[in-house]
A and B are shown apart, each in its own frame.
Chain A
């Protein structure tokens, strides 16, 4: 399975499609960190970064899963069986975690005071949750699930917007609580609420990835 993960990442990177998510990532980082992060705002800044980068992670996930031709995916399925689905998810996770590392490095470089271990760990945790949400959204909008590129792009964009709107509403339990991360981060209560928020934030992406695996049974 690791060989298939390597093959898919190599295909994505060599095709130069891997540069496309950077078009979203780098300008966002430039805007987020145009000014240094003031002391005391580190947790809020890391929550903002994680929440805002979800569509970038989703875009990269969808791009990587769609970069290989349909017939190649079928060859991979005959070679690896149902592990092909898992290998795709692992490849996407690996690539998105690389993007998250760039975002984390940019954040740490723009902190006014030195990063504390708590800030560092909170950043890693929130970006991992953001990557998981992005992977699920990207997988559910990939070509085997939504063959039309236009429909797929719209579902990805509006899926993220729905996530934001729902998490600001009374029905926020229905989605990944992105705005709750940001709000709690800026009000200094994120660390207290983090275990519950993390479990809640993982629930829907796990449901999404399970739905992706289930749908792929009949969509090679």
Chain B
């Protein structure tokens, strides 16, 4: 897929959101789009998905099957999860049996009978992911896919992205959560001031906001100063959430040592959870009383 000199603005009197963008994606590419809020990341994703038309330039050779998971899943719809996903499978002409595979994998079988408006943000987000994945997309667009997800799904999502890539699909992700920071062979592009530029891999760790790694569902207590954590390239919440378990990172992966301060009654539970996820945990200082 190629973006040839692509420019976009929402109206004739509006400023250009993107200008003269040239990008090329090969089958199997996994691309992370980064940049400050409001710079045009979601606009770029919508252009890639074919939802917006370039004002100038063109997007060529877009894969035929596009999966799109928006930043906010539209949960205000009068369906149960099962009924909604069945409708989506019918629209995609996909065997409805495939829905079960994905709901099981994302740990949401128990939600199938629930009505969409009753879902929590994270659960609704999973429905958005399933509808995008069920069609085996040749182009998978994920807008902030890690937001609100539980630890298990945060750990599973990079594997799923890897599988789409291995099948030859192109995956484009906008992510402020740092969920793909350890993903191998990922390409990163920064959207800023209307242009899109390549980022070297090592630049991204410092780029992703440390506070953004924490989510309401999986935030352990951590007192590490942001600057220090950024220098070490791994915020506490990300490791606690199991985003980079040892078996994924491989034996030769570099190890980051984090200091995590946690309320005394929760320390044992947190340590057990981290150990269960494959991290080495050592208690260095216990509460004085």
Contact = CB atoms under 8 A, between A and B. Distances in A.
Interface of A: 3-4, 6-7, 10-11, 14-16, 68-72, 74-81, 217-218, 220
7 contacts: A6-B90, A14-B79, A69-B74, A74-B49, A74-B68, A74-B70, A220-B46
Contacts of B91: 3-4, 7, 76, 79-80
B78 to A, nearest CB: 4
Interface stretch (B50-58, B182-190, B206-214, B250-258): B50-58
B53 A81 contact: no
B44 to A, nearest CB: 14
Contacts of B87: 3, 6-7, 10
A3 B90 contact: yes
Interface in B107-166: 128, 131-132, 135, 141
Nearest to B143: A71
Given A77-B51, A79-B92, 18 more contacts: A3-B90, A3-B93, A6-B87, A7-B87, A7-B90, A10-B87, A15-B77, A69-B77, A71-B73, A72-B74, A72-B77, A74-B70, A75-B131, A77-B50, A78-B141, A79-B91, A217-B53, A220-B46
Nearest to B75: A69
A70 B78 CA distance: 15
Interface residues of B, number: 28
Across the A-B interface, the 6 shortest Cβ-Cβ residue pairs:
A69-B74, A14-B78, A3-B90, A71-B74, A78-B68, A72-B74
A74 B51 contact: yes
A77 B50 CA distance: 8
B101 to A, nearest CB: 19
Nearest to B83: A10
Contacts of A3: 87, 90-91, 93
B88 interface: yes
A7 B88 CA distance: 8
Nearest to A7: B87
Given A3-B87, A74-B46, A75-B68, A11 B79 contact: yes
Contacts of B67: 78
A68 B51 contact: no
Given A6-B90, A76-B91, A78-B66, A220 B77 contact: no
B72 interface: yes
Contacts of A81: 50
Interface in B60-99: 66-68, 70, 72-74, 76-79, 87-88, 90-93
Contact of B77 (A11, A16, A78, A218): A11
Interface of B: 46, 49-53, 66-68, 70, 72-74, 76-79, 87-88, 90-93, 128, 131-132, 135, 141
Nearest to A8: B87
A5 to B, nearest CB: 10
A218 B49 CA distance: 14
A174 B151 CA distance: 62
A78 B49 contact: yes
Contacts of B51: 74, 77-78, 220
B78 A11 contact: yes
Contacts of A71: 70, 72-74
B29 to A, nearest CB: 19
A68 B70 contact: no
A68 B79 CA distance: 11
Given A68-B77, A69-B74, A71-B72, A78 B90 contact: no
A78 B50 contact: yes
A188 B221 CA distance: 83
Given A7-B87, A74-B51, A77-B50, A68 B92 contact: no
Nearest to B128: A75
A70 B46 contact: no
Nearest to A219: B52
Contacts of B53: 217-218
B157 to A, nearest CB: 18
Contacts of B79: 10-11, 14
A72 B141 CA distance: 15
A44 to B, nearest CB: 41
A81 B62 CA distance: 12
